[in-house]
Amino acid sequence: MQGSQDWLCRTYVIKIASRCNLNCSYCYMYNKGDNSWRSQPKVMSEETVVQLLHRIIEHYGPNPMYKFVTLSFHGG
């Protein structure tokens, strides 16, 4: 696929928080026995943000065909 930029991602959904601040009774994560979220950091670290930005820049290379990308921030 080298030489083709048709596959480049233009939109990124970035989950900046691992924990929700709601308490929905139907939530499979917080109210149905899955406690794996407790071992996750509360928010994304600065180091992870820097790595993410570097990966996005690396993904596009020196001559991107798109002038912008969309970053959609999602929490908890």
pLDDT value of residue 1:
47
Domain ranges of the chain: 11-74
**pTM of the predicted protein model:** 0.62
Distance CA 1, CA 8 (A): 11
Ranges under pLDDT 50 in the chain:
1
